[in-house]
Amino acid sequence: MRGLSRRWNMIKLKTPEELKLMRIAGRVTAEVLDIMREAVRPGISTGELDRLAEEHIRRNNGIPAFKNYRPMASMTPFPGTICASINEEVVHGIPQFSRILQEGDIISIDVGAYVNGWCGDAACTYPVGEISPERKKLLEVTEESLNRAISQALAGNTLGDIGHAVEGYVKPLGFGVVRDYTGHGIGSKMHEAPQIPNYGRAGQGMTLKAGMTIAIEPMIMSGREKVKTGGNGWTVSTVDGSDAAHFERSVAILDDGPEILTPWQSFQ
């Protein structure tokens, strides 16, 4: 989940002991997505997917990070354990038992979990049954953009290197980048500094340091780069009704390279 608040704390470098705890939270979070991978099918409701996710988190002594989350006092608390965003919905879709997945849909599932006071955050977009070649391409490109971004999460690189890895890959292929929402730092809080844009210029921006832990989450659309928030105050969709996909991993920047803290299985 992407925080809506503009208030960010200072960057916190994690100790080896803290990273051990973050791996536990990340594993539980990734396991939820692996459960979703098997559960997503035509006929299941997003409410049922939410129930399965919360059950797994609590069974592993965790707390759903999204449930009742409210980044601003004026907002209605988010009611779900997962964000369940279908087709043109980019992020923050509210799960409902009345919302049934249909053959050919795509669904982006975002989930976060606190375990022992540390947070994991991850997302993956799944096909519902057989999907069109265009939707399959969108999923493949978005996941590959995440992989390319993670490869740039190196001590000594910059935030611009991460953003450029996403934008420089998807734009020439004809896809758009969601610019209103970004990745973020993560640790004992779900949203920490810095913000991690999915666009930028190589070599520019903050220099990355070993001990940083970040959530990289490209949100890519097949149409124009404009989004809107729905009447529920949460669900973000593309303005032109084009499809969107969302992939996210929590990552630790170490001296010997990036470590994926939320090792969910690919949708493929």
Pairing of strands 62-64, 82-86: unpaired
Q: What is the pLDDT of residue 71?
A: 87
In the predicted model, what is the mean pLDDT of residues 94-101? Answer: 98
> Alpha-carbon distance 189 to 209, whole Å?
19
In the predicted model, what is the mean pLDDT of residues 65-77? Answer: 92
Q: What angle do CA 55, 58, 61 make, to 5 degrees?
A: 150
pLDDT at residue 215 tops 60: yes
> Alpha-carbon distance 86 to 132, whole Å?
15
User: Which region among 2-11, 157-166, 177-186, 191-200 has the lowest average model confidence (pLDDT)?
Assistant: 2-11
The most distant pair of C-alpha atoms in the chain lies apart, rounded to whole Å, by 48
pTM above threshold 0.75:
yes
3-state secondary structure of 225: coil
| Domains along the sequence of the chain with CATH | 16-260 (3.90.230.10)
